[in-house]
Amino acid sequence: MAVTRAKARFIRVSPRKVRQVIDMIRGKDVVQALMVLNNLNKKSARIVAKVLNSAIANAENNHGLKMQELYISRIFADQGPMLKRYRAASMGRAVMVRRRTSHITVELDLKNPPVLKTKGGEK
């Protein structure tokens, strides 16, 4: 099996917003997923499309696979480190603002993996 991965780390979008986009393309063909991402009006859709294109390029260059043969076997967004900032609040107080980051991982696999022939009469 030629599982191909691509990662984008420390992306300045919260993982919750990225997961909304990721859930729409999980398990789909690569071509169909790219069409969905190109028609979504969300910042994270552009970022996920970039990571998906990177995974496709890895599959083509490293394993000699064609784009039409691939589907998204796993895709997930983990939380990265938070950037902690402070904002002025009423009565002289300060309120923490958490700027969240994401780590996006895409794994591609073959739609129909080749069947390996075995020797002998094994079933």
Q: Is the pLDDT of residue 122 over 70?
A: no
Q: What mean pLDDT do residues 44-64 have?
A: 96
What topology is assigned to 4-110 in CATH? Ribosomal Protein L22; Chain A (3.90.470)
Q: What is the mean pLDDT of the chain?
A: 93
Q: Label residue 1 by pLDDT band (50, 70, 90).
A: low
Q: Is the pLDDT of residue 119 over 70?
A: yes
Q: What mean pLDDT do residues 45-58 have?
A: 97
Do the beta carbons of residue 103 and residue 10 sit within 8 Å?
A: yes
Domain ranges of the chain: 4-110
> Rounded to two decimals, what is the model's pTM?
0.86
pLDDT at 2: 72
Tens-digit pLDDT profile for residues 69-98: 999 999 999 999 999 999 999 999 999 999
Q: What mean pLDDT do residues 13-24 have?
A: 97
Q: Label residue 120 by pLDDT band (50, 70, 90).
A: low
Q: What mean pLDDT do residues 8-22 have?
A: 97
Encoded tokens for 7: 């990662």
pLDDT at 13: 97
Burial 72-101 (b: 16+ CB within 10 A, else e): bbebebeebeeeeeeeeeeeeeeeeeeebb
